[in-house]
Amino acid sequence: METSMAFVLSKSSFSCIFKSKGPSMMPLIERVKDQSFHPDIFTMAKHFWNLLSFYLTAACVLPVQANNSMAFTETGAFRHHPSIRIELIAAEPDVVDPVALCFDASGNMYVVEMRDYPYGKGPTGSPGGTIRKLTFDASGNVSASHLYAERLSFPTSIAPYKDGVIVAAGDLIFLRDTDGDHIADVRQTLLTGFNQGVTDSNLSGLRWGMEGRLHGVNGGNNGVIYSPHGAAKPLALANADFAWDPLKRRVSRTYHTGGGFGLIFDDFGRSFTPHNINHMLQRILPVNAMERFRGFPSIDATVNISDHGGMARIYPISIAQTRVNHPEQAGYFSSAGGMGLIPGTFNQGGLAGGVLVCDVVGNLVHRDVMHPKGPILEARRAPEEQHAEFIASRDLAFRPVGLETGPDGHLYLLDMQRAVIEHPDYIPEQIKGRYEIRAGENRGRIYRVSSAGVSSTKRANLATAEVGELLTHLNDVNDWTRMTAQRLIIENHRDTKRQQFNQILESGNPLAKIHALWCMNGLGICLLEDLQMGLSESHAAIRIQTLKILRTHPEWWNKAWPWLQSMSRDPSIEVRFHVALSLGQHPHPDNDEALLEILTTDIQHAWSRRAVYTSLRKNPALLLGKLCQSYPGHADSHHHWNTCLSELAYMATARLEEQNMDAFAALISSLGAGDHPLKNNAIESLLDGAQKGAILASLQRASLEPLQSCLEKLASLPSVSIKRAVWKLSKALGSNEVPGFKNALQSALSSAKDTETPLPHRLEAIALLGLGTFQDSGQTLLTLVNGIEPNEIQKESMEQLRQYSDQGVAQGILDRWREIGPGLRPHAIETLLRRKKFHLLLMNAIEGGQVTLGELNLDLEQRRLLREYSSETVREKAAPLFGDEEYSNRKILLDEWLSKLPAKGNLTRGRQIFIEQCAQCHQSGNVGVEVGPNLTDMSHRSVEDLAFNILDPNMAINPSFVAYEAETKDGELLSGIVQSETPESVTFLSAQGMRREVARSNLRYFRSGGLSLMPEGLEELMTPSELRDLISFLQKHD
């Protein structure tokens, strides 16, 4: 290939022009109006050469150690797993602002371009989204790019359907080209009524499921959706995702929405979705299961399964940028969205089956490896990626938004290439004007990611395949091929005969069998004997999918029930989980025996218990009684049985109605009369449950006589927790005279303060104080909010104070602010912000110097609460103190120093400055002493952020590093941070790393000075150049 290049670089423009005799080449970088998006023009030149490398070489391989035993690979601007290859296959003008893609059966790529991000096109904000159709030549290169559709409103997702595509663009829209000119001339709205908002909260994640429905995620904006062409009733999404059945033209709710952007299924039908800081959520219980049982607890059934936490640590390699709104998110997931599944074609490095999720702010793609954890999964980092990412880029404009598997078995990675990716609604007004919000709007990239040992770009063309060939493709290792073949069989070959599936059903490929069973079900030719075969298969995934198929056939439930009953003892916990869900759709009189079998076997797993609860058609009280009889009495299972009994007791009350008041009283009496070791928690949960919803109203309307004597007996039991539950219910029912309460309250006032009383008994007493009025209990509770007291005592006291609206709560907390320990500070701040009537007291305390802004360390939402949603007086007081951006006590000094900082620092000199100025309190690598925060690898913190924290250490203080001082009863003075606390002692850590443990009983006073242990005034000890050297040392990658 002969290539000539003209390259022009100036202060105001940056452009490149290619002339080629080979395949067409695309301009890599367009002019950026505001150069402030890149640190300097040389960074832009580096950006150019990094991208150019994709054209000039297949892979420039340089081994780079990534804090683990495996050498990662450098390809252009990328550092990635060594078992993959990355190559650029499309860029502007062929694609611009790509956010999603799919392939049709012929292997053509359809790319969603969100050109109207973030506020629409032009001054009127008109719809500007487009769909591009890309065709490929025999070598896998893009041969042409066609404008397939335009004027779409913020399109987010796309899926193939018949001879067209379905697009999520405000509505669910079918597009089709009928005359072969690569332009859609059919545009039909399938579903409408979705609410619109910030783009990543709109519907997205279109993806075909094994059962033949098109799934999508709600995104959190909800809506009441309906088909403009059908007679079906509108469906309120109500915080749920959805699925559309193309055969029945019916839409249904599926799972609780994660509220994010994107959706992926693994090979066996489990589904995952991200949401900003929570990068890996598994959708566990379907909403129809949770809603069939009145009284099922209100829980979120789409949950984080990451073992590395919500807002997990990530490892970008791009230059750290300042996070003005949420600085605590720097170096952590904050914009997880867009997912992918590594297909079986990736046969090196054990990558197949890994789930990928993008973080657009971090310029990276993260991989999780799934491991069983009870009936669900746990997402873990791969061993070789403990401190590295699957794909990361130095290019700040690299904005990965999703990955899709192609017909060739490779992954295709979408890069939106926007300079500002954060939606303007989330950017503080004070700094929004610094940015050109649409910079990068004329750029876009699509990369091919392939297994390092696979170079083939052969693309399967299934559009012309006969049914026999499509059936063969159900065995394919590529999930795109399997799913496409299944979809085409159901769409185009409705006359396929059942016997044509026999060879697959007799094969040893579990995935092929699963697809075959769902194909047969979609064609209406699946028989009960096929399901019997599926339920007896050795592979658990086949049994699970067969159970799902069985749920769609109520006509077979009675005949299938014996099989389900026997499967309650299935060796797989995941199968037993699905048996429990299935039993809820089979109204058999002996269901409870099978459910009890599953419950006792898997009682330690919360999601197994919940699956059982969804299927309780009788009163849970009946199962409660049977479970009590089954209790094995093992100490190691005590906690799980206790929890289960409490859950069942709580739910039992939700099934009771007014005419069942006698039954309610009888149930309480039966539990109270027995001598079961777990009865106390069960009774307490039953009484607490009676205070919720309709049952409380029923109790209030009913005569209390059948209940009163029962409650009096329970109140005489020795358990303080039962007494508390009895008195709490009595108060809720409006009873003025609660038997024994006054005497118990007086006893609790004494026990709560008595340091000789065992800690558990003190905690019970404090919980009891919460039933009294603020006048009864408030001062005692406030007295216990003191650093001398054990953390458990402080937290329980604060928890009881939260329920009171008396201003004495806020004033008492503020009066004792200096005595509140670091572990309780966040709880105290939350209590002060909880009620509007407390806000003015807080602002007055700030103005008076009683509390400092730095030690409050308010996050963005807390600052906005005071600035925008409180009373007018509070808003006026808050406005000059802080805005959306972080506040500083030394802003003039900081701005002056930032303007003097050199562009780069010297790491070697910075290390010496760290030793001289910081090492006595901080550790970086193997240098220094860890008293304050460990500063090893601060590469995720920006230069500006680190400079602010060094020069203004009191700008925002983590409660763990506030300096405290104390005096012992024998006159010893102590100062430092609180390193650890136990109920009996406090350990102080001084600036020199000296540790001193002191018994709480020996403390005369304990209070904070409101400042960080790190002193202000470091600017007196170094020059701007030396500060920049220090920052370079802190930002180093070890």
- Say yes or no to pLDDT of 569 above 60: yes
Alpha-carbon distance of 417 to 464, in angstroms, equals 36
Higher pLDDT, 934 or 169: 169
pLDDT at 482: 97
What counts of helices (H) and strands (E) characterise the chain?
34, 39
pLDDT at 13: 27
pLDDT at 918: 82
State phi, psi for 163 to the nearest 5 degrees.
Answer: -105, 30
* % of the chain surpassing 70 pLDDT: 83
pLDDT at 82: 95
H/E/C letters for each residue in 973-1005?
Answer: EEEEEEEEECCCEEEEECCCCCEEEEEHHHEEE
Pairing between β-strand 109-113 and β-strand 98-103 as defined by DSSP bridges: antiparallel
Candidate from 107-111, 286-290, 465-469, 706-710 with smallest mean pLDDT: 706-710
DSSP 19: E
pLDDT at 52: 34
- Say yes or no to pLDDT of 901 above 90: no
pLDDT at 640: 87
Closest C-alpha among 277, 246, 280, 254 to residue 266? 280
Alpha-carbon distance of 988 to 938, in angstroms, equals 26
User: Binning pLDDT at 50, 70 and 90, where does residue 672 land?
Assistant: low
Alpha-carbon distance of 847 to 856, in angstroms, equals 13
pLDDT at 701: 63
Strand partners, 302: 283
* % of the chain surpassing 90 pLDDT: 49
- Say yes or no to pLDDT of 412 above 90: yes
User: Binning pLDDT at 50, 70 and 90, where does residue 737 land?
Assistant: low
Higher pLDDT, 298 or 889: 298
Q: Ramachandran region of residue 937, left (φ > 0), alpha (ψ -120 to 50) or beta? A: left
pLDDT at 470: 97
- The answer to whether the peptide bond before residue 510 is cis (omega within 30 degrees of 0) is no
pLDDT tens by residue, 322-342: 665 566 677 888 889 999 999
Q: Using an 8 Å Cβ cutoff, are 80 and 392 in contact?
A: yes
Task: List the chain domain ranges.
Answer: 3-451, 467-526, 538-617, 619-737, 891-1034
Alpha-carbon distance of 424 to 437, in angstroms, equals 7
The CATH class, in words, for 3-451 is: mainly beta
Residue 328's contacts (CB-CB under 8 Å, 6 or more residues apart) are: 859
Alpha-carbon distance of 196 to 867, in angstroms, equals 27
CA separation (Å) from 1010 to 161, 674, 852, 886?
Answer: 62, 54, 7, 18
Alpha-carbon distance of 994 to 992, in angstroms, equals 6
User: Binning pLDDT at 50, 70 and 90, where does residue 25 land?
Assistant: very low
Residue 218 C-beta-side C-alpha neighbours within 13 Å: 27
User: What mean pLDDT do residues 918-923 have?
Assistant: 80
User: Binning pLDDT at 50, 70 and 90, where does residue 59 land?
Assistant: very low
pLDDT tens by residue, 614-654: 998 777 777 777 777 777 766 566 788 888 888 887 787 76
- Say yes or no to pLDDT of 955 above 70: no
pLDDT at 885: 62
pLDDT tens by residue, 835-848: 999 999 999 999 99
pLDDT tens by residue, 66-112: 344 467 788 889 999 999 999 999 999 999 999 999 999 999 999 99
Element (H, E) at 164: strand 164-169
Q: Using an 8 Å Cβ cutoff, are 153 and 127 in contact?
A: yes
Alpha carbon distance, N-terminus to C-terminus of the chain? 41
pLDDT at 329: 73
pLDDT tens by residue, 383-409: 999 999 999 999 999 999 999 999 999
Query: What type of residue sits at position 486?
Result: Q
Residue 914's contacts (CB-CB under 8 Å, 6 or more residues apart) are: 922, 924, 927, 928, 1030, 1033, 1034
pLDDT at 65: 35
pLDDT tens by residue, 296-318: 888 899 999 999 987 899 999 98
pLDDT at 1015: 67
Alpha-carbon distance of 307 to 378, in angstroms, equals 6
Q: Using an 8 Å Cβ cutoff, are 908 and 293 in contact?
A: no
User: What mean pLDDT do residues 898-903 have?
Assistant: 82
pLDDT at 6: 28
The correct CATH number of 891-1034 out of 2.60.40.2550, 2.30.30.100, 2.60.40.10, 3.20.20.150 is: 2.30.30.100
Alpha-carbon distance of 417 to 37, in angstroms, equals 12
- Say yes or no to pLDDT of 865 above 60: yes
Which sign does the torsion angle of CA 658, 663, 668, 671 carry? negative
Q: Three-class SS of residue 71?
A: strand
pLDDT at 122: 82
Higher pLDDT, 996 or 476: 476
User: Binning pLDDT at 50, 70 and 90, where does residue 48 land?
Assistant: very low
Mean confidence (pLDDT) of the chain: 83
Residue 846's contacts (CB-CB under 8 Å, 6 or more residues apart) are: 852, 853, 856, 881
pTM, two decimal places: 0.80
User: What mean pLDDT do residues 205-215 have?
Assistant: 98
Higher pLDDT, 434 or 934: 934
Q: Three-class SS of residue 336?
A: strand
pLDDT at 670: 66
Provide the Cα torsion 80, 81, 82, 87; round to 10°: -50
pLDDT at 431: 62
**Residue at token pair 């083939």:** 456
State phi, psi for 235 to the nearest 5 degrees.
Answer: -120, 120
User: What mean pLDDT do residues 192-201 have?
Assistant: 86
